[in-house]
């Protein structure tokens, strides 16, 4: 039984993108170029998504949704990288990083920096979209 539980846990952890596996000590949000133009990434180069179902500053993604779309969390300071503004970076009450009031997420299938596999996908009752440095959604 313990072997099965351990195998299941390893399978779940393998499905989480490297950037989301642990909380970063500092939350960095930066703009870098992509095939969708200049959009938001974390400090390690993993793309960040917004969920259209989220009201301003509140995440509506939990359970199975959060397993597929892990929230961007960090314990420490919030840092504005290239192309972003510190005044647009914040946290939800649960500690999820926000940009222009939108909670930020990773996609579990994006396995390496710069990879963008789920732009403009409808899942869990809303659209998943990348963002510009202004906070505007890319449709």
Tokens, residue 100: 């222009």
Each residue's pLDDT expressed in tens, for the chain with a length of 139 residues? 433 333 333 344 344 444 454 466 788 999 999 999 999 999 999 999 999 999 999 999 999 999 999 999 988 899 999 999 999 999 999 999 999 999 999 999 999 999 999 999 999 999 999 999 999 999 9
Domain containing 66 equals 2-130
Residue 62 lies in a domain: yes
Residue 90 lies in a domain: yes
Residue 135 lies in a domain: no
Residue 138 lies in a domain: no
- Exposure class string for 22-54: b at 16+ Cβ within 10 A, else e: eebeebbbbbbebebeebbbbeeebbbbbbeeb
Domain count, the chain: 1
Residue 113 lies in a domain: yes
Whole-prediction pTM: 0.84
Which residues, in sequence order, are CB contacts of 127 under 8 Å at separation 6+?
A: 51, 52, 120, 121
Among 61, 43, 63, 44, CA closest to 52 = 61
Residue 136 lies in a domain: no
């Amino acid at each position: 039984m313990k072997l099965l539980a351990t195998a299941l846990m390893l399978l779940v952890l393998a499905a989480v993108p490297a950037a989301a596996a642990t909380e970063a000590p500092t939350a960095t949000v930066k703009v870098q170029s992509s095939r969708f133009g200049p959009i938001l990434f974390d400090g390690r180069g993993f793309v960040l998504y917004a969920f259209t179902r989220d009201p301003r500053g509140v995440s509506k993604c939990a359970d199975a949704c959060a397993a597929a779309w892990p929230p961007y969390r960090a314990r420490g300071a919030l840092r504005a990288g290239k192309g972003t503004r510190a005044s647009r970076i914040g946290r939800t009450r649960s500690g999820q990083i926000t940009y222009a009031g939108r909670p930020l997420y990773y996609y579990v299938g994006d396995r390496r920096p710069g990879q963008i596999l789920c732009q403009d996908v409808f899942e869990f009752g809303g659209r998943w979209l990348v963002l510009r440095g202004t906070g505007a959604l890319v449709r």
